[in-house]
Chain A
Amino acid sequence: MSRVTFISPNGAMTIIEVPAGQSLMQAAVARGLPGIDADCGGACACATCHVFVDPAWMGRIGLAGGMEQSMLGFAEGAAPNSRLACQIKMSDGLDGLVVRLPEAQH
């Protein structure tokens, strides 16, 4: 289990325990976290699980891949630290990860 902190646009923090191997999106949806829509169910095909990764963690998380970048290109307010939560698989090295949620998923 690793702990991930989700920070919503109004500043509220939610800490979720994510088992290794699960995606950040799956953990957030299982918890019913508002702000992660995940319409496509993790297929990297809707961009409604958009998060901003805390810059301190970008080195370990890495940049988005090809299809993910295409999808992120259409997400509102996407930035270099944008990722799709369904494409981030949890591992022990990510314990303590912090991500921010956008205003809305589109």
Chain B
Amino acid sequence: MIDPQSIPIDKIDVSALELWRENRHLPLFERLRREDPVHWCAESMFGPYWSITRFDDILAVDTNHQAFSSEAELGGIAILDARQDLRLPMFIAMDPPKHDAQRKVVSPIVAPASLADFEPIIRERAGRILDALPRGETFDWVDRVSIELTTQMLATLFDFPFEDRRKLTYWSDVATVIPQPGAIVETDDEKVAVLMECLREFTTLLLDRAAAPPKNDLISMLAHGQATQNMPPEEFLGNIVLLIVGGNDTTRNSITGSLLALSENPEQFAKLRADPSLIPSMVSETIRWQTPLAHMRRTATQDVELGGKTIRKGDKVVMWYISGNRDETAIDQPDRYIIDRERPRHHLSFGFGVHRCVGNRLAEMQLRIVWEEILGRFPRIEIMGDPLRVNSCFVRGYESLPVRIPA
């Protein structure tokens, strides 16, 4: 096992998967922020890469898209290089100006004004899921609540066939997993096959919606939107898949993460119960605390000086949001979970700059509704064991969390 304090600095590889499964990454990041905030790792399972670990440096990289590209052809947005043969065009992995044009199409769909229409139905469905939970017996919060809620919310937003909704979860999981033995898909080829299946189903839906009169769901909005009418089918689909993947496990893991964080900090939970108007700031604090996407990656398009180091053209640059969110030069008492902190939205979890999460208000709304409904129903939720963590340095999440609601 690695001792975070004694390992030579140039041997640190924060991408090592066991660190994430065992939740041991934070001490290494703390050391990097202190001793070598812009850090070169020469060897890892993902090849050589730079780690950017301080809040302000991350902001500098995130807002400099000229020098730090998201382009899929250069490797894309995650530490694992994007495979060129299973690429759908998605604006998250494009640079301006192409990125900007496509983002503008999707943005109004997930803007606060459009979301307000969805609120009553999301609330009603959330209520039904919570009412159906067992009392006095241990169950898996991830499966029964986080996945079910997120999936139903996505199915609602897309008006996806409700009985097939778990397909959304499955596709999203497959789209983000690193294929390896024991994982949900074990090889690249398997992954491609599943994604192709997803594409086929959405093509059918897209054509149906395009032929029907416009209605209030994301697929229909894309099918009928002025700006989307001339978009090639591939790009339609890229956008839809991006919305599913972007909105799925991030939100799911924030739902689990909020219950865990509140349970580990009972005085904060008590504060929330005493004053439910703190729900919105609790939600933002949870999203900081959880950092559902631990990093985003860029590729340098030119030589750049940063933190006294020279990043070379072509280098892989990883912005560790999870580290920046614990940087005490930017966030007061960052290692404490404080649901009523000042300026709770001042965190890196949604990124900054032109790629800043377009679904951020949607995610916040979903979490707010869920917690409004939980607080009204359950005076106690007991954690019955340790969570099982996702084996990834990209998606920071949970496979399972055993809980019990007293009878």
Q: Does B88 interact with chain A (Cβ within 8 Å)?
A: no
Q: Once the chains are docked, how many angstroms separate the CA of A39 from the CA of B357?
A: 12
| Shortest distance between the CB of A54 and any CB in chain B (Å) | 23
Stretch at the interface among A12-20, A57-65, A68-76: A68-76
Decide yes or no whether A53 CB sits under 8 A from chain B: no
Interface residue tally for chain A (C-beta within 8 Å):
21
Q: Evaluate contact between B352 and A76: CB separation under 8 angstroms.
A: no
Given contacts A76-B112, A106-B111, contact A41 B358 (CB under 8 A): no
CA distance A67 to B353 in the complex (A): 9
Closest to A67 in B: B63
Q: Contact between A44 and B63 (Cβ–Cβ < 8 Å)?
A: yes
Contacts of B356 in A (CB 8 A): 45-47, 74
On whether A104 and B354 interact (CB within 8 A), knowing A43-B63, A73-B104, A74-B107, the answer reads: no
Question: Given A40-B352, A67-B63, A106-B361, does the pair A74, B113 have CB atoms closer than 8 Å?
Answer: no
Q: Within the assembled complex, what's the spacing in Å between the Cα atoms of A70 and B113?
A: 22
Tell me the chain A residues, 52-106 only, with Cβ under 8 Å from chain B. Answer: 67, 70-71, 73-74, 76, 103-104, 106
Across the interface, do B361 and A45 meet the contact criterion of CB distance under 8 Å? no
How far is it, in angstroms, between the C-alpha of A78 and the C-alpha of B352 when the chains are bound?
A: 19
| Cα of A70 to Cα of B104 in the assembled complex, Å | 11
Determine whether the beta carbon of B361 is less than 8 Å from that of A104: yes
Chain A hits for B224, CB < 8 A? none
* Cβ-closest chain B residue relative to A70: B354
The one of B103, B107, B346 in contact with A39, judged by C-beta atoms closer than 8 angstroms, is B346
A24: min CB distance to chain B, Å: 17
Give B327-362 as 1s and 0s: 1 = Cβ < 8 Å from A's Cβ atoms. Answer: 000000000000000010110001011101010110
Which A residues are in CB contact (< 8 Å) with B361?
Answer: 104, 106
Nearest-CB distance from B98 to chain A (Å)? 13
Report which of A46, A73, A76 forms a contact with B111, defined as CB distance below 8 A: A76
- Contact present for B59 and A106 (CB under 8 Å): no
Contact residue among B103, B345, B346 (Cβ-Cβ distance under 8 Å from A74) = B103
Residues of B within 8 A of A76 (CB): 107-108, 111-113
Interface contact A37-B345, CB-CB below 8 Å: yes
A73, B100: Cβ atoms under 8 Å? yes
B62 within 8 A of A: yes
Interface residues of B (CB under 8 A from A): 59, 62-63, 96, 100, 103-104, 107-108, 111-113, 343, 345-346, 350, 352-354, 356, 358, 360-361
* Residues of A bordering B, CB below 8 Å: 29, 37-41, 43-48, 67, 70-71, 73-74, 76, 103-104, 106
